Structure 1
């Protein structure tokens, strides 16, 4: 017999159906030479200091680091007693493992899933050989393919060690640093954490920058000319923080009636589409568009994954393999009945798909998030929002580049350089999917007509109709949104260098 340990009962039942284990029992299924059981979440948890005989830890006992970390059955939060459901399922798993000669680890294909399996394996002091089912979705096709390509369990030792080390670090910080802070402050509920403390620090660093920000005025000079009847406003490249200096230069320039064109530069801009979603990028966009928290987005993505509608969501990369890319055209057909994307699908099926996100070498543990191709599975409103977000990103990622033409013109007026820019979208490409408003997204480049700007010639003298001196105010950095906080956490190394 071969034991299979899944992470959740729903996944376990799907796997049991695929391998032919169709007889139901309490907490497991059997048949065709397999016993399939499941963990239903983390059944084991790191032992508390009490379990090590350290009921009261004072400053003299710190740092308290166990010689060997212990695991105990999950406990109820209310009374700290062992959870009866966890104890019962552990007993079932122990019995299943005893009856089998080998094991297949079929928990979630990530650090947490690997930790869940290894903790149970070591808790029972098991020495039986095990293989790893490492799949990208819960579709029948992926499960079947995964069983054909079972991997050596030892190949995932480093993933387990990374997860185990993380949990032990969390435990040591909570046991020592948090208690030390409580003793020092005299407040009993102070808490430090490996993740929560750095995140709180990022928020706290931005907060005083925002509330103590002192707005400062600055001035810029603009001049107005006409080209073929079109009024155009050039902005001085120099900003003036001193009002009297700005007024003095402004008064001097007002007497000058002509400027000389010093540069006319035309540039083609190619904007590659974004990569496919990883979890963080999905969480950021869901926060911006729908106001979902990172936790809510992860929960919704998990539900879609368990419904077999999307691939594994807890991925850090935006790339897919060549094998997956070959199936993209068939996946696109699913959206022909979706009014949001039908027109885009028709366009995409007539061209070669953009393959910039296809690179097997850049895939870490999992490829980017994709839809699976399953249809007619009910979704609630929030699930549909996240599903369409993932689908839309797929269409963007495989669409052509957005092509723009930028024209920059500079004029010299008494030694001061004034400039103007204009951008025109020649081919919307991937920005056609969500009908991006390019005038807004390129506001910093100006929305002047490039065709007019191209008619300036270097060395040409142009008549100045008027000047304006405009006062601006510097603005504080905004407080962090959850999307901005996720961005900051992505760039945490840069932040560490900045504040050190």
Structure 2
């Protein structure tokens, strides 16, 4: 008997539907001739709690840290024991096992750890499915690979899980116990991803709080040229009183120049005119979709992820959503017209977009070299029944279809002009844009970025009609929103001070993964470290106090981003999981030596004083390694990082 172990029931049903045989469901499995399909319920196993290694560690004590298991143990989740018993019975009868976890690092871990836990030693094949529709599943079933090929991916996932345990257990215990010494009665949770994310927000909030505005004074002049009029802006010379962004901070020179300008003659001294072509935006990765859905529809990252899971599993309208890739396989190109036609079938707006598509075009999105374990999110081709979709599900589905549809629209062609005029020996600059061919742009917006300028000729004369000085004020940085925070997590190198580290991170994964970013934000909210104020994400007093008390290395993104880089190297057999863990332990011991009750007490008091009220006690997070585990029925979520 061949046994296929899927990651979740919905995937198991899709596999069974594509297999020959009756597909009889019985006792936690679906029987299809000589093949049986069973499933996990997300993670069936979890890392054992510290007391499973030594009963003395049930009590939290500083002198017991760091806790380092010598032989790692996995424990069944409390509500997963029934399904584990089903798999155990079936795997004893199996002559071959097929691993059907999701096509990513966590999916590789989730099923393989169950196979290993059962001590199965027979042949194991790997089934990779990113689209739950029957034709796609049938193609995947015909393309099984040896599971051994994906062992490095499993090693990377396992290293991540163990490292998160070591980091989270030890630092959370250390700072919680230090917090008690400082007078704080509550758990202070620390994680290798969640804490740097909190640090980003705290530092942004501090920058907003400490921001001191100052005025600046732009000067404009309206110019008459041969074929019309335009407005140009003064570009002060460096000897003028300027801020670090080149803005004039003393009004007097601007007023003096504005008084002289009306009626003055000048000349167009520099003219840069060029046609530009802009390719359509690529199809979505999950994070890119979360950013756009937050901006356009005000949806949180977690809501977008939940919607995508329903569109994928329940409605079968899209391909695998937890993707970090924005490219599509070249073999999908010939099928695109059919899948987009199906996706657009029951929606008037999508039908209009479909009419404008030219399927003879090929964009840069179709590139096998850019596709890894999974490809960009795309419509599956199944017609959508919008009466069965919520309004927000419809919004997200249209975004996904739109970005794939855009690949069959012409590039946006614009004519851009930059002009510099000289009057009274001073430079005045103007810029404009005209659209030659809107291409894909109407699918995204009907707004022009900047108005066109009159037709200009190098060296032509100009005359000032009028001028004025405006008084403006610098503004503080914007608080983070779901959209800007996800984008920051994707591009974390921008928030790193060290130039060498920034260069290293430029082309690597960001903070967290596609599958975990939304959950990290929600966890910080649930634990009382963040609060949503309209669309803004702001740190609470407790969140600010914790960041102030921790060593900066714990709350800045360098470490966790470099972790992701090393984990990727392990998955590509360019690094070793044991050396990675040893480096982590050396780092961890150094961090534990910095737990300081006096520093924490001071930061808690400072946060209270600044905010004018008591620091709210953190709600105690569920022990993610305890036997009384919430949400163990079907959670695919990894332990909070």
TM-score for the superposition, normalised by structure 2:
0.72
Q: State the partner residue of 1:343.
A: 352
1:87 is matched with 81
Residue 230 of structure 1 and its aligned partner are, at CA, apart by 4.2
Question: Which residue does 1:62 correspond to in 2?
Answer: 65
Q: Higher RCO, 1 or 2 (CA under 8 Å, sep at least 6)?
A: 2
The question of 1:399 aligning with 2:409 is answered: yes
Q: Is the 8 A contact 2:346 2:383 kept in 1?
A: no
Deviation at 1:227, TM superposition (A): 3.5
Tell me by how many angstroms 1:294 deviates: 1.1
The structural deviation recorded for 1:231 is 3.8
The residue aligned with 1:367 is 375
Asked whether 1:33 is paired with 2:34, we answer yes
* 8 Å contact kept, 1:354–1:400: no
Residues 108 and 459 of structure 1, relative CA distance in 2, 3 Å threshold: closer
CA contact (8 A) 1:46 1:71 kept: yes
Offset from partner CA, 1:47-99 (integer Å, 9 cap, x none)? 1012112212422221111012211111xxxxxxx33xx11111110000001
1:311 matched to 2:319? The reply is yes
CA distance in 2, matches of 1:387, 1:144: 24
Moved more, 259-268 or 170-179: 259-268
2:358 equivalent to 1:320: no
Aligned to 1:220: 218
Q: Deviations over 1:120-170 (max 9, x none)?
A: 112122212210110221111111111111011011112211211111122
TM-score (norm 1): 0.91
1:255 CA drift (Å): 7.6
Partner of 1:172: 166
Q: Which residue of 1 aligns with 2:628?
A: none
Inter-partner Cα distance in structure 1 for 2:146 and 2:59: 44
Matches within 5 A, 1:104-123: 104-123=98-117
Q: Secondary structure at the match of 1:262?
A: strand
Write the distance in 1 (CA, Å) between the matches of 2:22 and 2:46.
30
Moved more, 219-228 or 289-298: 219-228
**Hey, what's the Cα distance between the residues in 2 that align with 1:17 and 1:419?**
65
Shift of 1:105: 0.9
Deviations 1:5-29 (A, max 9, x none): 1122232123223222523321112
Count, aligned residues: 479
Inter-CA distance 124–264: structure 2 relative to 1 (3 Å threshold): same
Q: Counterpart of 1:78? A: none
Secondary structure of 1:429's match?
Answer: coil
Is the contact made by 2:167 and 2:192 (CA closer than 8 Å) also made in structure 1? yes
Question: Does the alignment pair 1:152 with 2:146?
Answer: yes
Distance 1:426 1:255 in 2: 34
Q: What residue in structure 2 maps to residue 77 of structure 1?
A: none
Picking from 352, 358, 369, the partner of 2:360 is 352
- Change beyond 3 A, Cα 1:458–1:16: closer
What corresponds to 1:2 in structure 2? 2
Distance 1:347 1:148 in 2: 36
Is contact 1:5–1:39 with CA below 8 Å preserved after alignment? yes
Distance in 2, Cα, partners of 1:340 & 1:287: 21
Residue 253 of structure 2 corresponds to 245
State the alpha-carbon separation in 1 of the partners of residues 70 and 495 from structure 2: 35
Q: Which piece of structure 1 moves more, 98-107 or 30-39?
A: 30-39
SS state at 2:394 partner = helix
Which residue of the other structure, out of 296, 321, 334, is the alignment partner of 1:289?
296
Q: Where in structure 2 are the equivalents of 1:96-495 lying within 5 Å?
A: 96-186=90-180, 187=184, 188-227=186-225, 230-238=228-236, 239-251=247-259, 253-254=260-261, 257-306=264-313, 307-334=315-342, 335=344, 337-349=346-358, 352-375=360-383, 377=385, 378-438=388-448, 442-443=449-450, 447=451, 449-450=452-453, 452=454, 454=455, 456-495=456-495
Separation of aligned partners in 2, 1:376 and 1:486: 28
Distance 1:31 1:275, change over 3 A: closer
Q: Distance in 1 between matches of 2:326 and 2:422?
A: 46
Q: Which residue of structure 1 lines up, in the alignment, with residue 568 of structure 2?
A: none
Structure 2 residue matching 1:201: 3-state secondary structure: helix
Deviation for aligned residue 1:494: 2.8
On the 8 A contact 2:226/2:462 being kept in 1, the answer is no
Checking the alignment, whether the CA contact within 8 Å between 1:336 and 1:345 is kept in structure 2 is no
Counterpart CA distance in 2 for 1:88 and 1:119 is 17
- 2-structure distance, mates of 1:343, 1:56: 64
Q: Distance in 1 between matches of 2:168 and 2:402?
A: 42
- The separation in 2 between residues aligned to 1:102 and 1:194, in whole angstroms, is 38
Gap runs ≥5 in structure 2: 237-246, 499-555, 559-641
Deviates more, 1:266-275 or 1:218-227: 218-227
Alignment deviations for residues 420-450 of structure 1 (CA, whole Å, 9 cap, x no partner): 1221111111112234312xxx24xxx2x43
Residue 233 of structure 1 deviates from its aligned partner by: 1.8
Q: Contact 2:126–2:147 (CA<8 Å) still a contact in 1?
A: yes
- Report the Cα distance in structure 2 between the residues aligned to 1:432 and 1:5, rounded to whole angstroms: 45
Residue 412 of structure 1: SS of its match in structure 2?
strand
- Cα distance between partner residues in 2 of 1:56 and 1:337: 60
Q: Name the larger-Rg structure.
A: 1
Q: CA deviation at 1:103?
A: 0.3
Q: Distance in 2 between matches of 1:310 and 1:131?
A: 25
Distance in 2 separating the partners of 1:8 and 1:150:
19
5+ residue gaps, structure 1, are: 75-81
C-alpha distance in 1 between matches for 2:30 and 2:104 = 24
**Over aligned residues, Cα RMSD in angstroms?**
2.0
Please give the secondary structure, in 2, of the residue aligned with 1:331.
helix
